Amino acid sequence: MDVTPDARIAWPTIGRAVLGALPLLAVVLAFQVILLLAADDPADGWAIVLIVMLVIAFRRAGTSAAREATGRPLSHAALAGLGAFMAWVPLRILIAIVGDSERPLGGIFVGLALAVLVSLIGGIGGVRDVRKARD
């Protein structure tokens, strides 16, 4: 993986990484809808499970983007995590509005920071995978 100063961001690589995270994000969305419809208090204990699933999705996006990147793998990882987060946010806001949440935007900024941080951690893992394969 050659990191040169003129390396460009490969947007198709980021798009593929985000698409790879979408199935898990869809499962999280389905869980949120089911909990919204089935229970009065959707935060019973399932919140931790949903957060772990989101972390896995963001890490997966970062890892796959870093593996495919020809340059600047951590930039690709962070952008892939941001893209996966942006795919999840509109649906989460819609669920919060339909669920009559008092603060629908409460966790958005924390979620953004979490998505980028976890995707960067995944990117570091992706870089290590590439280096191991090369050696």
> 5-32, pLDDT tens digit by residue?
446 888 888 888 888 888 888 888 787 7
Which tens digits make up the pLDDT trace of 44-72?
677 778 788 888 989 999 999 998 888 88
Residue 16, CB half-sphere, CA atoms under 13 Å: how many? 12
Let me know: does 54 contact 119? Beta carbons within 8 Å. Answer: no
Which tens digits make up the pLDDT trace of 35-51?
777 665 555 677 778 78
Question: What is the domain range of residue 71?
Answer: 11-134
60, amino acid identity: R
Residue 50 lies in a domain: yes
Residue 1 lies in a domain: no
Please state the domain count of the chain. Answer: 1
Q: How far apart are CA 34 and CA 132, in angstroms?
A: 42
Angle at 96 between CA 113 and CA 60, to 5 degrees: 40
Residue 3 lies in a domain: no
Residue 52 lies in a domain: yes
Report the interhelical angle of 73-98 vs 11-38 (nearest 10°): 30
95, amino acid identity: I
Residue 5 lies in a domain: no
| pTM across the whole model | 0.78
> Can you list the positions of beta strands (E) in 1-135?
none
Residue 66 lies in a domain: yes
